[in-house]
Chain A
Amino acid sequence: METTRALMPRARQDELVVEELRDETLVYDLERHKARCLNPTAALVWRHCDGQTSVAEVAALLEEQSATPADESVVWMALDRLSRAHLLSEPVTLPAERARYSRREMLRTLRRVAGISLLLPVIESIVSPLAAAQASCISIAVCGSFPISACGGAPICGDPGQCCERQGQTCTSKKC
């Protein structure tokens, strides 16, 4: 197993709502109004993004908890995905030898270990427009009263296809 002394980056703390479920972790980004679902591998890596633990330690922990051989490639792949999802305090920079890895190469490495499907870090976007429309339609007046940081994209009651979105320095009804 390849090991490095690289330390884990720090996870982003601000403007996130986190819900831990039995088999997944849900994260809502209050800045970008994006909801994401982390599978156990991605969640474990994210939980250890403390700037102190090493990548090798997390790989070992992953192996221990999943009872499946794991190597650092899995952790780096998870970090890459967490970074793209804006869940780290700073964008992660893969070490030189990892940066050369294409996704295919990464997968080739991963296939060397058993239980690949269980170990792959997955970060899924949560999209459910109909459910969102049901949950919280608001009037234009309410939308207009929101501060711009909280426009939120909620559907406008009685105006199909219109949502509360930012326009300049105000929240207003715009096409969803």
Chain B
Amino acid sequence: MRSWQAAPLSDNDPRRLGKAVASALAGAWRASPSPPSPSLTPAALTEVTPLLLRTGAASLAWWRMRSSELGTTAAAHELRQAYRMYTLQAGRKEDQIVQAITLLRSAGVEPLLVKGWAVARLYPERGLRPYGDIDLCVRPEQYAVAVTALAAPGAETIVVDLHKGLPQLHRPSLDKVYERSQLVRLGDVDVRILGTEDHLRYMCVHMLRHGAYRGLWLCDVAVVLESLPKDFDWAYLLRGDRRCADWVASSVGLAHQLLGARLDGIPPEERTRSLPRWLLPSVLRQWSIGEHYMDSVPSMAYALRHPTQLLKALRLRWPNPIQATVRVGGPFNELPRLPFQLAECVSRTTYFITQMPSMVRQRSLRPVGGWGTPPIAKKGGEGA
């Protein structure tokens, strides 16, 4: 595999900050991460700290810096404050997960927890991987019952992102996904989470669908790769839709090349797979921006009410090549990405226009998932 570190980037290179983000996060998910490379200077850390804070990776960066000389800098203190805050939030979130699952089970619904705590539990400390809402998947036919159950008195503050099945998984059958799921203890309940293969696949596709804009998501892929069970089934992971399998394999390659994820136990043919040339630079460029329309940036509804924000809102909605390719179901090959970006943009604009009347009715309530994202039922808000 090519080594991205080999090529030094100039001060004007739009990928420069992304590279510093990668330096800050490399290996940060391990219990005892190695100290950051000397190329990450105090000045560089100061520069990328807002990016790390905005994308939920501040805790991990602090974890990596804490025993190094950078650990005493003002920037590291900011990262540490985030780590403390996330640690406090994690305990409350876990209580809410237990509460939500208990409510659903009492209504006869067996939810599958995806992302969030399901991956946070693999990190050395629970405050290292923040998550905003609780992603729960239920069988489509049980969705209405689940919504009612979660509307129970006392559950108002539990922010659940309720999914009807898991279409992003590109699996033929939800029954099979449930069959391969696993139960993991959290407090007084057993939480049902995806089987490791399905979980890794889901996280990879989710990350790419959102343009891989959060370094945290690639750390998730890395932490799963380094915690694989002995009986991990690579054939099952990459089975089915060929393009989806390529996306997943490319995510694995990205975690290795950008963050130094270890590939022990990975089949040789997957280790040597090369990434399309545009992929890695696209991630670095996205990480340098640190903003994405999925986050708390001006919604289109807000921008239309505040025209000074319109240009920024539109600029942030131009899809990066990764997001565009995956959202239109394109292949990861060497062809130019512009056609995919245009197609994705047209698709989202169309969706936005069709949603406009309801958005106006709801005023600044952001369309679910941002401008043009295929609708996913939500009880609550957005999150990591």
Contact = CB atoms under 8 A, between A and B. Distances in A.
Contacts of B302: 158-160
A61 interface: no
Contacts of A157: 296, 299, 366, 381-382
Interface string A120-157: 00000011101111111111111001110010101111
Contact of A137 (B86, B296, B362): B296
A51 to B, nearest CB: 26
Contacts of A19: 87-88, 91, 127
Interface residues of B, number: 43
Interface in A83-130: 126-128, 130
Contact of A135 (B130, B298, B363): B130
Given A17-B92, A134-B54, A158-B297, A139 B365 contact: yes
A138 B156 contact: no
A26 B156 contact: no
B181 interface: no
Nearest to B312: A160
B81 interface: yes
A67 interface: no
Contact of B88 (A26, A134, A145, A154): A26
Interface in B64-107: 78, 81-82, 84-89, 91-92
B159 A136 contact: yes
Given A26-B87, A37-B84, A142-B381, A158 B301 contact: yes
19 contacts: A17-B91, A24-B84, A26-B88, A28-B88, A37-B84, A127-B81, A128-B78, A128-B84, A128-B85, A130-B58, A131-B85, A131-B86, A135-B132, A137-B382, A141-B365, A150-B156, A157-B299, A158-B298, A158-B364
Given A134-B130, A136-B383, A147-B157, 18 more contacts: A24-B84, A26-B84, A35-B88, A128-B85, A130-B54, A130-B58, A131-B56, A136-B381, A137-B382, A137-B383, A139-B365, A139-B366, A141-B365, A152-B157, A157-B299, A159-B299, A159-B364, A173-B364
